[in-house]
Chains A and B, each alone.
Chain A
Amino acid sequence: MIQALNNELSKELKLYYRDIEDSLICGRKTRNKILSSIRDAVSDFISSNPNADIMTVKSHFGSPKEIANQYYSNADSDEIKAEINIRKTIIVCVLAVLLITVIIYTISMIMVTIRGVKDLTGYNVITISATYQSDTDVSNSDLK
């Protein structure tokens, strides 16, 4: 049905669905099921109201916050806690991986720098010795 909608409304609906998705702190299965029901209902609503814009849709179906609040009022608090804990664990894991990567990168850069410094030959002392020849010596040698 979405293909039948005009492009602008379709884009705005995508954002609306994404906002609902972000507002719902629940398992993927639950979220997908609720979103699927809302998508079907929105398609139905738009086919009955072809001139509807995104504001009409939002006022009829409610804001993402209202939808999420309704979910939380029916959901088990343990279920929500478990989902929040899963999210926290994922965030902590991602941050830990990032931190480890940064540490490894920093250490490897330090090692490369230290190795580079050790490999440097330092500096060579070049002695330039100049031999002075007087004008008379030069003329004598020419005569010979």
Chain B
Amino acid sequence: MEVVQIAANNSQNNFKKGATALIILLFLREGDMYGYQIAQLMKERSDGDFTVPEGSLYPALYKLIEQGFVSDEKRQVGKRLTRVYYHLEDRGRQHLEQLLNDYYTVRNGIDRIINRSGGDSSLE
């Protein structure tokens, strides 16, 4: 049972890793945000089912910056504190559209496969 649980957690983590960039871009479409905000929004909007440690967001954000989809800007908050805000660039918007298309295509494909293969009785 323990092994099954570990395998389930690993598969969930793999799905999350793949979807993190898509979700970050989706949130940034609403406006500039900083890391903590993105992590909190993920938690809130998924009702706690899609939580990513804040630290894990930064490698994904760095990759998006490197690819030119997102830009970052340090802003002074209070006297000594600086906060890095992330901004969605035009290229990022186009990439988001592409990612959403890819996601729906793959998701629909997987749904069809599951349905035509007997589906998951525990979820029905």
Q: Which residues of A contact B63 (CB under 8 A)?
A: 71, 74-75
Among A47, A63, A67, A68, chain B packs the most CB atoms within 10 A around the CB of A67
Assign chain A's interface to a size class.
20 to 34
Give bound CA distance, A70 to B72, whole Å.
19
Give bound CA distance, A19 to B58, whole Å.
16
Query: Is the beta-carbon distance between B17 and A70 smaller than 8 angstroms?
Result: yes
At the interface, yes or no: A38 with Cβ under 8 Å from chain B?
Answer: yes
Query: Is the beta-carbon distance between B35 and A43 smaller than 8 angstroms?
Result: no
Give bound CA distance, A1 to B55, whole Å.
18
Could you name 8 residue pairs across A and B whose Cβ atoms are closer than 8 Å? A34-B59, A37-B84, A44-B36, A61-B55, A70-B20, A70-B57, A70-B60, A74-B60
A residues sitting closer than 8 Å to B (CB atoms) are: 1, 4, 20, 24, 30, 33-34, 37-38, 40-41, 43-45, 47, 59-63, 66-71, 73-75
